[in-house]
Structure 1
Amino acid sequence: MAVSVRPPRPPRRRLDGILLLDKPLGLSSNDALQRAKRLYRAEKAGHTGALDPLATGMLPICFGEATKLSGVLLDSDKEYRAVVKVGERSSTGDAEGEIVERSDATQLTLPVLQDALAGFLGPQLQVPPMYSALKRDGRPLYELARAGETVEREARPVTIAELELLDFAGDRFEIRVRCSKGTYIRTLAEDICRAVGQCGHLIGLRRTAVTPFWGRAGVTLDRLEASADDLPALDLWLLGPEEALRHWPSATLDDVRAQAFLQGRAQRLAGVPRESRIAVSNERGVLLGIAQSDAEGWLRPQRCFAPPRQAS
Structure 2
Amino acid sequence: MNYDFEAGEILLLDKPLTWTSFDLVKKVRNSLRIKKIGHAGTLDPLATGLLILCTGKFTKKIEEIQAQEKEYTGTITIGATTPSFDLETEVDSTCDIAHITEEELRQAAEGFVGVIAQIPPIYSAVKVNGERAYTLARRGEEAEIKAKNIEIKSFEITRIELPEVDFKVVCSKGTYIRSLARDFGAKLGCGAHLSKLVRTRIGNYKLEDALSVEDIMRIKDERIAKTRPDSN
Q: Deviations over 1:133-190 (max 9, x none)?
A: 1111111111111122222221101000111111110111011001001100000001
Equivalent position of 2:16 in the other structure: 24
| Equivalent runs, 1:148-187 vs 2, <5 Å | 148-187=140-179
Equivalent position of 2:82 in the other structure: 90
Between stretches 221-230 and 194-203, larger displacement belongs to 221-230
Equivalent position of 1:281 in the other structure: none
Q: AA paired with 2:85?
A: G
Q: AA paired with 1:119?
A: G
From 223, 227, 231, the equivalent of 2:223 is 231
Task: Check conservation: 2:49, 2:207, Cα contact below 8 A.
Answer: no
**Residues 1:145 and 2:137 aligned together:** yes
Task: Check conservation: 2:94, 2:191, Cα contact below 8 A.
Answer: yes
Cα distance in 2 for residues equivalent to 1:80 and 1:109: 24
From 104, 108, 118, the equivalent of 1:116 is 108
Task: Check conservation: 2:12, 2:207, Cα contact below 8 A.
Answer: no
From 47, 65, 73, the equivalent of 2:65 is 73
Q: How far has the Cα of 1:14 moved from its partner?
A: 2.1
Q: How far has the Cα of 1:40 moved from its partner?
A: 2.4
Cα distance in 1 for residues equivalent to 2:137 and 2:104: 33
TM-score (norm 2): 0.91
Q: Deviations over 1:233-285 (max 9, x none)?
A: 9xxxxxxxxxxxxxxxxxxxxxxxxxxxxxxxxxxxxxxxxxxxxxxxxxxxx
Unpaired runs of 5+ residues, structure 1, are 1-11, 234-312
TM-score (norm 1): 0.68
Q: AA paired with 1:75?
A: A
Equivalent position of 1:201 in the other structure: 193
Cα distance in 2 for residues equivalent to 1:162 and 1:88: 24
Task: Check conservation: 1:28, 1:53, Cα contact below 8 A.
Answer: yes
Q: Secondary structure at the match of 1:93?
A: coil
**Higher RCO by CA contacts (8 Å cutoff, separation 6 or greater):** 2
The list of structure 1 runs, each at least 4 consecutive aligned residues, that deviate by more than 4 angstroms after superposition, is none
**Residues 1:100 and 2:89 aligned together:** no
For these two proteins, the number of residue pairs brought into alignment is 222
Unpaired runs of 5+ residues, structure 2, are 226-232
Q: 1:65 to 1:13 in 2, by over 3 A?
A: closer
Between stretches 34-43 and 63-72, larger displacement belongs to 34-43
From 27, 47, 55, the equivalent of 1:35 is 27
Q: How far has the Cα of 1:67 moved from its partner?
A: 0.3
Equivalent position of 1:277 in the other structure: none
**Residues 1:189 and 2:193 aligned together:** no
Q: 1:85 to 1:215 in 2, by over 3 A?
A: closer
Q: Percent identity?
A: 36
Q: Secondary structure at the match of 2:125?
A: coil
Q: Deviations over 1:37-65 (max 9, x none)?
A: 12322121000111111110000000001
Aligned-CA RMSD value: 1.8
Structure number, greater radius of gyration: 1
Q: How far has the Cα of 1:231 moved from its partner?
A: 3.1
Between stretches 222-231 and 89-98, larger displacement belongs to 222-231
Cα distance in 2 for residues equivalent to 1:195 and 1:142: 25
Q: How far has the Cα of 1:131 moved from its partner?
A: 0.7
Q: How far has the Cα of 1:232 moved from its partner?
A: 9.9
**Residues 1:212 and 2:204 aligned together:** yes
Task: Check conservation: 2:5, 2:56, Cα contact below 8 A.
Answer: no
Q: How far has the Cα of 1:32 moved from its partner?
A: 0.2
Q: 1:152 to 1:13 in 2, by over 3 A?
A: closer
Q: AA paired with 1:77?
A: E
